[in-house]
């Protein structure tokens, strides 16, 4: 027997993503131009984890608070799109023992050399030192010695808490192609369809959650992706905001982990 709920979700998402249904584009653009300011309540928001935060959460300065909140305190849906899990395994996790450890080693070596030049009074070396410090602050998870064990523990805690939606892929093939040609976010900056499928999984899972009785007024994607096909500055792309409004009747924002930790208090 066909799953009527799944069929309705599929039809709704395709109608919106393929523009068979109007989306509130002008309203979303107006809000984005003003800076996207929106007074939202974290407690009434569904939270979605992007692949690039999985390694950063365990190494964040407030990691314990963030993990406790995501795995126990927060009462609205916590979503990990199926595509995110796939990309985390394929890309981020495989880099821990190679790229990350190499970068950490090279950083230490370069820092020692910079310190020598600073002692010698070499002109301009302060700018190099500042750039190195900025790099470390932006990539703190690279320098966390217990990153793997903390990440494993966090994932285990998520197993019984998170919603993991995996939308059917076939029905979205043509939609993805047409959107990429038109430079429709997300993912038009990438060769593959990964970001688009993260978006589809997000919409799929939360539409299903609402159909099952969940209620939320906002959707917050926790991400450190800074590409313009997701956001500009701290403002989500207005197309994404409009699409999510059309599918879920909710407000959409993209937050960093620092913003989440500030909101948790």
pLDDT in tens, the chain (265 residues): 346 689 999 999 999 999 999 999 999 999 999 887 778 999 999 999 999 898 889 888 899 999 999 999 999 999 999 999 999 888 766 655 555 567 667 777 888 888 887 887 777 888 877 777 777 666 666 566 677 788 889 999 999 999 999 999 999 999 999 999 999 999 888 888 999 999 999 999 999 999 999 999 999 999 998 899 999 988 999 999 999 999 999 999 999 999 999 999 8
Is residue 39 in some structural domain? Answer: yes
Q: In the numeric block, which tokens belong to residue 30?
A: 């107006």
The total domain count for the chain is: 1
Q: What is the pTM of this model?
A: 0.82
Residues 6+ apart with CB under 8 A from 107: 132, 135, 136, 142, 143
Is residue 72 in some structural domain? Answer: yes
What is the DSSP secondary structure assignment for residue 220, as one 8-state letter?
Answer: E
Is residue 88 in some structural domain? Answer: yes
Is residue 107 in some structural domain? Answer: no
Is residue 196 in some structural domain? Answer: yes
Is residue 137 in some structural domain? Answer: no
Range of the domain at 18: 4-95+145-264
CA distance 56 to 223: 10
CB 256 within 8 A of CB 264: no
Is residue 109 in some structural domain? Answer: no
Strand 235-236 and strand 231-232: the pairing is antiparallel
């Amino acid at each position: 027997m066909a799953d009527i709920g799944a069929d309705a979700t599929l039809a709704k998402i395709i109608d919106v993503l393929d523009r068979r249904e109007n989306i509130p584009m002008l309203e979303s653009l107006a809000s984005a131009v003003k800076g996207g300011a929106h007074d939202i309540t974290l407690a009434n928001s569904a939270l979605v984890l992007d692949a690039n935060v999985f390694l950063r959460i365990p190494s964040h300065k407030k990691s314990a608070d963030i993990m406790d909140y995501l795995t126990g305190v927060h009462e609205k849906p916590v979503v990990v799109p199926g595509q995110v899990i796939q990309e985390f395994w394929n890309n981020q996790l495989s880099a821990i023992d190679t790229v990350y450890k190499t970068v950490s080693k090279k950083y230490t070596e370069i820092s020692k050399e910079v310190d020598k030049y600073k002692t010698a009074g070499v002109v301009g070396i302060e700018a190099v030192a500042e750039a190195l410090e900025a790099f470390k602050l932006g990539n703190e998870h690279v320098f966390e010695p217990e990153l793997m064990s903390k990440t494993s523990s966090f994932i285990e805690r998520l197993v019984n808490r998170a919603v993991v939606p995996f939308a059917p892929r076939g029905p979205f093939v043509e939609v993805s192609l047409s959107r990429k040609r038109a430079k429709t976010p997300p993912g038009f900056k990438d060769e593959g369809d990964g970001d688009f499928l993260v978006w589809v999984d997000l919409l799929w899972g939360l539409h299903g959650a609402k159909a099952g009785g969940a209620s939320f007024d906002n959707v917050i994607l926790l991400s450190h992706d800074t590409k313009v096909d997701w956001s500009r500055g701290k403002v989500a792309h207005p197309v994404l905001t409009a699409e999510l409004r059309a599918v879920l009747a909710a407000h959409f924002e993209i937050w960093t982990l620092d913003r989440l930790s500030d909101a948790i208090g």
